[in-house]
Structure 1
């Protein structure tokens, strides 16, 4: 008789992403001079990922244009569920309605991670901020995104702040009138 083992593919995928991301960050820490350089590089990598992920997200979900920033926040929640398997909370809306926070009670990227004291300036999940910025730029929304609280630094949750800057105009590439 053969013995069959079943794997929870979502758990395996989550662990693979966690370990791969941790290896990437560890190598960047070795290769770059400062934690600030690593933070910038992680944001840039995330931005490039976001530019590409938005097409996959739109084709998988079949969603249309965002009507307002609240609709955008809902779609960001859907993306977190789809790609990271977590459900953040949207809180702390600004009075003008142009800024909000995403609260992650659990973050799969940080499950197996401890930051040494000499890396307290490292924004380990800065890639997520870049993904948000890159994806939203591709749907004509210019935003800023940054980490406010980080579980790796002793905070209860991970908080990512998103601020709407402006709506981008569709632009034709230079030379294509």
Structure 2
């Protein structure tokens, strides 16, 4: 319900959404994992319950998913009226804004609790990959490339003839490799 609510709601607590387009080569692993989880999940169910003609559960177990879904929907709908980021309380309670506008604690569980304390190499990978590779590619790659390119343009302008001739040598070497 939370995902549907955030996709179609008007007020999202000033939480930004990103629409990233991914092609089939990037999505192949996710499609493969989904397919394999469905196949192996169904085969595991057939192994655990070889005769699924009758499963007897108490009434609490039957109603528990319905109670959790309805209570989550009611709580989420009531929390949407708080406008957490429109007043000073929303700015002071940044944890509450982050929790209400995110999909549970899944990003925190996947990266932020494990990387900084246990794996030092993964802490550097966290900056590059897990903290939003799409954000880096979409919003940060063009300024980074422009800065990188402007550095070499300034070197080219300050060195005059030497860099001009070296650029012809490198271009000629590049085309000779092709």
The structure with the largest alpha-carbon Rg is 2
| Range class of TM-score, shorter chain | under 0.3
Relative to the length of structure 1, the TM-score reads 0.23
Relative to the length of structure 2, the TM-score reads 0.23
Larger RCO (CA within 8 A; separation ≥ 6): 1
